[in-house]
């Protein structure tokens, strides 16, 4: 009987599809926040209300954007690197700026809920805010 072989392509597709989905677990946006002008980058529409109502800045612009897998380290603008380990339920995040550790924390990311981490010095003034979100 060939029944098990008939399911082999489907099983392989599901295995590889799952790997492809897991490859980019987290989206990361670096936002420069300042009081120079009054504007919110259109790329921040999903978090603009949160930013403007909770932080003391009037200008927010995306300076870098990355997708990363949990367990990966990425280099970003403003001489920042972001490393993640663990799982979605218990993800350790380490942020370094210029090689100096700025943040080391463990979080749980919920689907569709952005995590804002910030207050890192920005070149030219203002602050850098990291926005992380499950993909």
Q: What is the pLDDT of residues 46-97, one digit of tens each?
A: 999 999 999 999 999 999 999 999 999 999 999 999 999 999 899 999 999 9
The answer to whether residue 7 is domain-embedded is no
The answer to whether residue 96 is domain-embedded is yes
**Stretch (H or E) spanning 15:** helix 3-23
The answer to whether residue 124 is domain-embedded is yes
> What tens digit of pLDDT does each residue of 8-17 get?
444 334 344 4
The answer to whether residue 83 is domain-embedded is yes
Domain with 77 in it: 25-134
Spatial distance between the Cα atoms of 38 and 48, rounded to a whole number of angstroms: 12
Q: How many domains does the chain have?
A: 1
The answer to whether residue 15 is domain-embedded is no
The answer to whether residue 79 is domain-embedded is yes
What is the distance of C-alpha 79 from the center of its chain?
16
């Amino acid at each position: 009987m060939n029944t098990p072989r008939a399911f082999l392509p489907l099983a392989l597709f599901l295995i590889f599809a799952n790997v492809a989905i897991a490859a980019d677990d987290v989206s990361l946006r670096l936002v420069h926040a300042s009081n120079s002008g009054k504007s919110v980058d259109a790329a921040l529409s999903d978090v603009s209300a949160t930013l403007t109502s909770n932080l003391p800045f009037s200008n927010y612009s995306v300076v870098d954007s990355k997708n990363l897998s949990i367990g990966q380290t990425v280099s970003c603008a403003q001489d920042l690197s972001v490393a993640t380990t663990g799982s979605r339920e218990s993800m350790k995040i380490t942020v370094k700026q210029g090689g100096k550790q700025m943040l080391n924390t463990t979080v749980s990311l919920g689907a569709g809920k952005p995590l804002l981490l910030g207050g890192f010095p920005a070149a030219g003034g203002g602050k850098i805010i990291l926005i992380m979100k499950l993909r």
